[in-house]
Amino acid sequence: MAAHASLPVPTQADTTVLGQAAQSTNSTYKILYFGLHGRGELTRTLLAYSGAKWEELPVDWPTQKEHTPFKCLPVVYETAQDGTILELAESQAIERYLANKYGLYGKNAYEAHKVEQIFSSADGVAQAFSQKIIGVAQDKRVEEANKLYVEVLPKFIAIHEAQLAKNGSNGHYIGNSATLADIKVANLIDRLLFLRPQGANEVPFSAEKTPNLWKVLEKVNSHPTMAAWKKSDRYQELNAGTKSMFKF
Amino acid sequence: MAASLPVPTQADTTTLGHAAASTNSTFKILYFGLHGRGELTRTLLAYSGAKWEELPVDWPNQKEHTPFKCLPVVYETTQDGTILELAESQAIERYLANKYGLYGKNAYETHKIEQIFSSADGVAQAFSQKIIGAAQDKRVEEANKLYVEVLPKFIGIHEGLLAKNGSSGHYVGNSITLADIKVANLIDRLLFLRPNGADEVPFSAAKTPNLWKVLEKVNSHPSLAVWKKSDRYQELNAGTKSLFKF
């Protein structure tokens, strides 16, 4: 069974034509990713936040792998409003593309740089969490989590509470509206809270301990389409899939 | 001592955004005397022909004055005199790539560049953790593992992508972008930091012709060729080997 036949076929055209199609803000999407949050989470979050329509393609990895540009997932197929099909790949490349498309990437090059500073800073913690907690043997997890909570998070928290205070403690990193920075950080906090190993200490984020970061989290999660996404059946499935895959 | 750090201009982001459009800026880099997380920034500035100087590092005193308590930090003085504080190495790299026309002509090209950057960065991180981060007596073993477990997959994918773009020595279109520079940088780094006694790094004109073309095109670009021959670049080479004990 040529399961890859079920993968959309990207439109072959020069990059000027594809660049034109990429301007579409009325696109629909097909996501090829496993049934967990993982490297697909921020992409799904950005699509949900922006109100874009998407569907999930059935995964048949052994058969589909050779048909993906980097032999890994996620891959996202965007059908632009003119019918062009664009193939998006590499999770962070997809995230930046979507953030830019949906006005979440700052209003100018300086704001985009600030967004990227925050993204980079948060990603450092996300990677440490991934390697040191998800990546370790289960019997080491509590120890590694407690270490992360006291060695890595306090520095991050102090820096970010201060950055947010500089922007007026309004629940946003830049100006008065959400950007990829807010969404990335909210995503990180959600993930750390959700994947606290059984028996580990409290994750040091809360309304009292980290008021500015908590405001960012609340603002992102209370955005109407975001709130709806998090209540959805699919989101609960992804929660369960995440815990199951990583054995939490 | 911290008084020697430039003071970023305080202004709203519209004003700073205007300043950021400057293509006639000068730069001051605050980073240690090795390639490390400063390498791609220096490469991008060298490529663009922009003037830059290196600030003396006094980390214990300067740390508190950096936005994320780490380096590099880059201070840009724009053509109107505004001072912008740039931080977080990859954020700086994207900003400079965009400023100097290395970030694609449209959102689709930018995405393609970011795909390549991300793919290459995965290897760079594996190298960093598994080889630079390994105890010295484990390095040869870890390097040989990387060369057979990680690089062939990367090479297979990238030779294919470059062939799709006409084997021109470019990932996107007909000119250098951040993608080319990032990958050239990665190959340079892997070749330069091969542990003594490890196998050959599997990049060469014969084995990886398309990737080698990318490397050659980037390194033969006039301003980059000059930079790589400079005394400072040699210092950074030496500093890199020294710090990482290669």
Set of chain A residues whose Cβ sits within 8 Å of the Cβ of B74 = none
The distance of Cα B124 from the centroid of its chain, to the nearest Å, equals: 11
Set of chain A residues whose Cβ sits within 8 Å of the Cβ of B19 = 110
Closest residue in B to A19 (Cα) is B108
Q: Distances in Å between the alpha carbon of B246 and those of A41, A57, B188, B235?
A: 39, 47, 15, 15
Q: Which two tokens stand for residue B40?
A: 């791609």
Mutate to test the interface with B, among A70, A78, A172 (most CBs of B within 10 A): A70
Q: What is the pLDDT of residues A50-70, one digit of tens each?
A: 999 999 999 999 999 999 999
Q: What is the pLDDT of residues B99-142, one digit of tens each?
A: 999 999 999 999 999 999 999 999 999 999 999 988 999 999 99
Residue pairs between chains A and B whose CB atoms are closer than 8 Å:
120
Are the beta carbons of A16 and B161 separated by less than 8 Å?
no
Q: Which two tokens stand for residue B196?
A: 């003594």
Strands (E), chain A: 28-32, 53-56, 75-79, 85-89
Closest residue in A to B20 (Cα) is A110
Q: Closest Cα partner for B61 from B30, B29, B34?
A: B30
- Nearest 5°: CA angle at A240, between A5 and A147? 115
The A residues from 43 to 82 touching B (CB cutoff 8 Å) are 69-71
What CA–CA distance (Å, rounded) separates B181 from B46?
Answer: 11
Enumerate the CATH 3.40.30.10 domain ranges in chain A, comma separated: 15-101
Instruction: Note the CATH number of domain A15-101.
Output: 3.40.30.10
Return the residue matching tokens 């950074």: B236
Q: What is the pLDDT of residues A130-186, one digit of tens each?
A: 998 988 999 999 999 999 999 999 999 999 999 999 999 999 999 999 999 999 999
Q: CA of A233 to nearest chain B CA: how many angstroms apart?
A: 31
Q: What is the dihedral of CA B96, B100, B102, B103, to 10 degrees?
A: 60
Are the beta carbons of B20 and A109 separated by less than 8 Å?
yes
Q: Closest Cα partner for A127 from A91, A102, A100?
A: A91
Enumerate the CATH 1.20.1050.10 domain ranges in chain A, comma separated: 109-223+235-246
B60 cis-preceded (ω within 30 degrees of 0): no
Percent of chain A with pLDDT strictly greater than 70: 98
What CA–CA distance (Å, rounded) separates A64 from A187?
Answer: 28
Are the beta carbons of B115 and A121 separated by less than 8 Å?
no
Please check the confidence at residue A5 and state whether its pLDDT lies above 60.
Answer: no
- Asked if residue A124 lies in contact with residue B69, where contact means CB atoms within 8 angstroms, the answer is no
How many other CB atoms sit within 10 Å of the CB of residue A34? 17
What CA–CA distance (Å, rounded) separates B188 from B204?
Answer: 11
Set of chain B residues whose Cβ sits within 8 Å of the Cβ of A155 = 69
What CA–CA distance (Å, rounded) separates A24 from A100?
Answer: 12
- Asked if residue B169 lies in contact with residue B216, where contact means CB atoms within 8 angstroms, the answer is yes
Return the residue matching tokens 């993930």: A191
Are the beta carbons of B68 and A23 separated by less than 8 Å?
no
- Nearest 5°: CA angle at B97, between B94 and B102? 135
A10 cis-preceded (ω within 30 degrees of 0): no
What is the H or E stretch that residue B161 is in? Answer: helix B151-164
Mutate to test the interface with A, among B75, B108, B113 (most CBs of A within 10 A): B108
Cβ of residue A119 closer than 8 Å to a chain B Cβ: yes
Q: What is the pLDDT of residues B142-189, one digit of tens each?
A: 999 999 999 999 999 999 999 999 999 999 999 999 999 999 999 999
DSSP result, A11-74: PP--HHHHHHHTT-SS-EEEEE--SSSGGGHHHHHHHHHHT-EEEEPPP-HHHHGGGSTTSSS-
Mutate to test the interface with B, among A16, A68, A102, A110 (most CBs of B within 10 A): A110
Are the beta carbons of A96 and B114 separated by less than 8 Å?
yes
What CA–CA distance (Å, rounded) separates B225 from B102?
Answer: 18
Interface predicted TM-score (ipTM) of this complex, two decimals: 0.96
Please check the confidence at residue A4 and state whether its pLDDT lies above 80.
Answer: no
Q: Which two tokens stand for residue B43?
A: 């490469």
- Asked if residue B161 lies in contact with residue B168, where contact means CB atoms within 8 angstroms, the answer is no
Note the pLDDT of residue B1: 46
Indicate the fold that domain A109-223+235-246 takes in CATH. Glutathione S-transferase Yfyf (Class Pi); Chain A, domain 2 (1.20.1050)
Is the pTM here over 0.90, yes or no?
A: yes
Q: Closest Cα partner for A136 from A195, A71, A61?
A: A195
